[in-house]
Amino acid sequence: MYIIMLGGPGSGKGSVGGRVSEDFNLPHIATGDIFRAELKSETELGKKIKKYMDNGLLVPDEVVIETVESRLSQEDVKNGAILDGFPRTKDQAIALDKFLAEKGKKVDAAIELDVSDEDIVKRIVKRVICSNKSCGESYNTEFKPSKEEGICDKCGSTLIKRADDNEETVMQRLKVYHDTSKELLEYYKDTGVLYTVHPNIYSKTVLEDSVSEVETYLKNK
């Protein structure tokens, strides 16, 4: 199954996508994570994308598409994947459909997590993530604090703030999301694969509730 996670920055698509990936035994492919790793290792690709990421702007389509296609060509993806943060534009969606069609595959579901801008800002400015790349657990100092301040519950590594999780960049990322997501959502609505969840971010069980709603939908498809 090829499943796409849609939603604004901080909507929870990474956390929900990660859980669905474990439960359905499908690789979780997050373009933001791939790009952050490239930045950190200062690769050629990393140098190319830094200015976009630092400013909350979209990395150009051809760079993103090439990166994703190379990841999707790896052996572990042959039964499907959870795509998180890709596609972000209609052209990326069209490129993905074409790529999958050549392999006799298709997008099976596009899951949208619909959270208001106000809630997103509240969430992101208080978000901290695990510095250990293979863990990557996400916390919120107000809504979902770690047991010990600054330390990951799961692996004991230190918690850090993402460089682009400040109010100014979040506003920019939200603007970009609204500018590009409309036609993307329309695109998946037209192909009949769009399913929208409305997470209640003030609930302690928001992650579990969203995951279980998404998984129920996927199992009954």
Q: Which residue has the tokens 């990326």?
A: 92
User: Does residue 153 sit in helix, strand or coil?
Assistant: coil
- Residue 130 binds Zn ion, judged by CB under 5 A: yes
Query: How many residues touch ligand ADP (CB under 6 A)?
Result: 17
Alpha-carbon distance of 143 to 48, in angstroms, equals 35
Measured CA to CA in angstroms, residue 211 lies from 69, 125, 182 at distances of 27, 23, 24
Name which of ligand ADP, Zn ion, none residue 130 binds, using a CB cut-off of 5 to 8 Å depending on partner kind: Zn ion
**Is residue 123 flagged as an active site residue?**
no
Sign of torsion over alpha carbons 209, 215, 220, 221: positive
- Residue 210 binds ligand ADP, judged by CB under 6 A: no
Give me the DSSP letters along 135-151.
T--EEETTTB--SSTTB
Reference 111, options 19, 6, 204, 216; nearest CA is 6
CB of 173 to ligand ADP, least distance (A): 4
- Residue 83 binds ligand ADP, judged by CB under 6 A: no
Q: Are 153 and 178 in contact (CB under 8 A)?
A: no
Instruction: Write the interaction track for ligand ADP spanning residues 147-186; mark x where CB under 6 A is met and - where it is not.
Output: --------------------------x-------------
**Is residue 173 flagged as an active site residue?**
yes
Binding range to ligand ADP, per CB under 6 A, among 57-65, 72-80, 106-114, 212-220: 57-65
Which of 5, 16, 29, 64 is the binder for ligand ADP (CB under 6 A)?
Answer: 64
Q: Are 53 and 34 in contact (CB under 8 A)?
A: no
Residue number with CB closer to ligand ADP (73 or 221): 73
Residue number with CB closer to Zn ion (138 or 210): 138
**Is residue 88 flagged as an active site residue?**
yes
Alpha-carbon distance of 14 to 82, in angstroms, equals 10
Active site residues: 13, 88, 127, 162, 173
Q: Which residues bind ligand ADP (CB under 6 A)?
A: 9-10, 31-32, 35, 52-53, 56-59, 64, 85-86, 88, 92, 173
Q: Which residues bind Zn ion (CB under 5 A)?
A: 130, 132, 135, 137, 152, 154-155, 157
